[in-house]
Chains A and B, each alone.
Chain A
Amino acid sequence: MANIAEQRIRREFKEVVKSDEVAACNIKVELVNDTYTHLRGEIMGPPDTPYEGGRFQLEIKIPETYPFNPPLVKFLTKIWHPNISSVTGAICLDILKDQWAAAMTLRTVLLSLQALLAAAEPDDPQDAVVAQQYKEHPEIFRRTALHWTSVFAKGPKKDKELEDKVASLINMGFEEHQARVALSTNQWDLTRAAEYCLS
């Protein structure tokens, strides 16, 4: 069994490495161990989205039953997106679940994830808090996603106002990530975020 999985991943690995997308630095994949069961992927945030310019690392685990079952993929880089858990990085994408087909490859998975960053599906959310913000406060969502991209994914655009708010909460004695999550969850309202941290 493992032979089929390994043989497939070897081929797919080559396919990604040689692809035009790698040449354009849009996607990347590298080995974590020698057995091709654990890989590290990277996708570039697509243009005209709050993720633009960010580099998002992915953990890719290949099950023994690959390619009959999908690879287990999650975001290692923290991201603010309705279909990706801001806590665990778990992804809600049909092709990584019941819509997986043996004809799909690492390359198509990475490209699909990139497409997911460009077109969220808030009605099928993985992160309810983010999905609600996406629908009810689209502008705050955009700024939050942009902020997370700059902080965690080396995104180019910094948002001074939001960074100052995080700093204020840190000054009040809260841990940085806790402060950022509290502010993001509470539409960047300092008072409510502080209460959230204390509750």
Chain B
Amino acid sequence: MLSRVYSIMAARRTQGWSAGPDYSSIAVNVRFGSHQTMYELDRAFTVGELRQKLSADHNIPLPEVKVVLAGSVLADDLTIEESGVGMQSMLFAIRTKPSATTQATRGITTSVSDSQTAPAAVPATTSNTTAGGSCEVRPGRLRVKCSVCGDGAVLVERGPGSWADVLTPGRVTGKCQSLHCEDCKPVFYFKCVEDHQGSVDGTAVALYHIRPNRRCVECITCADVLSPVVVFPCQASHVMCLHCFMEYCKVRLHERGFVQREQYGYTLPCPAGCADSYIQEQHHFCIMGCTEYERYKDFAAEECLLAAGGVYCPRSGCGQPFMVDTPGPRVVCPQCHFVFCRNCQGAVHEGDCSFQTRSSESSQDFSDPERAERAQWERQTAQTIEVTTKGCPGCGTRTERDGGCMHMVCFRCGEEWCWLCVKAWDRVCQSSHWFG
């Protein structure tokens, strides 16, 4: 599997994926027990030569020293470059008993022929990079660690053959080489190919819907055959190239067309409208870039809050989100103490919401010119909103109609309503109100 991940990386280099500067030597950390040493190694340096170095440095007979990466013992004839380590990668040296026979490999391999299951890319997520880190999709390196001590000196019995092997701990068994670990199991994880300074634990989220396009399937949107692609989890396994997927996400985000699904969060289905085709891992939406991903997270949080019965303070300049635990429409913002009506989002009032003029700030202090000017702006804004929009009869969301027929569908709550009647769309509207 490791070799597959790397073959993808090599392919990407030609497609403009940044693979970092091309150094002739690589700085590699080698951990042996509690000792960690950094070696500056030439790319052509072999694992066998590294073993000799370790044997001499630690005064251990050569046959007992093994070098482990991503759950496998590396073969002697493998060069450092071929082994798949990158800048600042961690290799693990272990000492085996003279009698033990440990089969060396050329990296983790997979017995599964279905190339669609090979992991292709991981994002550099905001959680594991420094502040302001990138939200781009990058190729990933598969790594293994011990579930108990977290150490990478783990040998697995076989390489993972599918995403399920990688994502479900315990499917692939193995043994931690640490002397004190018992009942541990190997845990697969990914590292970004790029070195992230300040990364918390060096892990990145696997974007398992993004896969190499070995079967040369056309993108459902632009019909180009590109790789890697997003494969939707629908029955038809519809494929979308990364560029089209990014545009698809941006278009839907702009329209607020993502949907909240309990098991997957704020997500999107296959654009062909297939059943059960939602993107199941939200980090895939990082592909939109930082600004849009932040907006996505804001929308997702808002949807989540509103779905759970929470509200946002409607006062301009506040916008505090909070949960309401009191019955009735009267709500007090815990942040700015603005008292408002939950139903119409205006200042609190007696009687029916429809007779109220919308105002988010009832008191005006005209002695302060700055505040007076702002209040004037606020009033004009409120008036414009009042004149140009109507409230959805389902959720009260102010809605503007910029064309088309009178049949409105609320993006927020899904209510189908009539622009003329300002109530749910019914048979009368269906036959008489299409065009006013």
A65–B248 CA distance with the chains assembled, in angstroms: 8
B residues 257-291 touching A (CB-CB < 8 Å)? 271-273
Inter-chain CA distance A92–B238, complex, in Å, is 28
Q: Which of B17-25, B93-101, B350-358, B427-435 contacts A (4 or more CB under 8 A)?
A: B427-435
Q: Is the Cβ of B248 less than 8 Å from the Cβ of A68?
A: yes
Q: Is the CB of B272 within 8 A of A101?
A: yes
**Interface check A131, CB cutoff 8 A:** yes
Given A68-B271, A69-B251, A102:B220 Cβ within 8 A? yes
| A65 x B271 contact (CB < 8 A) | no
The answer on a CB contact under 8 Å between A85 and B434 is yes
Query: Do A11 and B223 have beta carbons less than 8 Å apart?
Result: yes
Say yes or no: A103 contacts B220, CB within 8 Å.
Answer: yes
Contact residues in A for B271 (Cβ distance below 8 Å)? 67-68, 101-103
**Any chain B CB within 8 A of the CB of A144?**
no
Chain A residues within an 8 Å CB radius of B272: 101-103
Q: In the complex, what residue of chain A is closest to B269 when comparing beta carbons? A: A101
In the complex, the answer to whether B435 meets A88 with C-beta atoms within 8 Å is: yes
Of all chain B residues, the one with the shortest Cβ separation from A98 is B409
B434 proximity list for chain A (CB < 8 A): 85, 90, 92, 126-128
Do the beta carbons of A68 and B251 come within 8 Å of each other?
yes
Once the chains are docked, how many angstroms separate the CA of A44 from the CA of B273?
29
How far, in whole Å, are A88 and B406 apart by their CA atoms in the complex? 14
In the complex, the answer to whether B431 meets A128 with C-beta atoms within 8 Å is: yes
Q: Does A125 contact B (CB under 8 A)?
A: yes
Distance in Å from the Cβ of A188 to the closest Cβ of chain B?
22
Q: How far is the CB of A18 from chain B (nearest CB, A)?
A: 14
Contact between A124 and B273, CB atoms less than 8 A apart: no
Interface 1/0s, chain B 232-264, versus A by CB < 8 A?
Answer: 000000100001100110111000000000000
Is B221 among interface residues, defined by CB-CB distance under 8 A? yes
Kindly report which residue of chain B lies nearest to residue A103, judged by CB atoms.
B272
> How distant is the Cα of A163 from the Cα of B252 in the complex, in angstroms?
50
Query: Is A198 close to B, CB under 8 A?
Result: no
Q: List A contacts of B179 (CB < 8 A).
A: none
> CB-CB < 8 A to B10: which residues of A?
none
Checking B247, B405, B431, B435 against A4 with a beta-carbon cut-off of 8 angstroms, the contacting residue is B247
Whether B222 contacts A7 by the Cβ 8 Å rule is yes
Question: Which of A1, A85, A131 touches B247 (beta carbons < 8 Å)?
Answer: A1
Q: Is the CB of A99 within 8 A of B273?
A: yes
CB atoms of B435 and A131 under 8 A apart? no
Within 8 Å CB of B432, what residues of A? 128
Select which of A67, A101, A124 is within 8 A of B430 by beta carbon.
A124
B431: which of A88, A102, A131 is its contact (CB, 8 Å)? A131
Other A-B pairs, 8, CB within 8 Å; known A90-B434, A98-B409: A1-B251, A4-B243, A65-B251, A68-B221, A102-B221, A102-B272, A103-B238, A131-B431
Which residues of B come within 8 Å of A, CB atoms?
A: 220-223, 238, 243-244, 247-248, 250-252, 271-273, 405, 409, 430-432, 434-435
Between-chain CB contacts (< 8 Å), 9 pairs: A4-B221, A4-B243, A67-B271, A87-B435, A99-B273, A101-B271, A103-B220, A103-B238, A128-B431
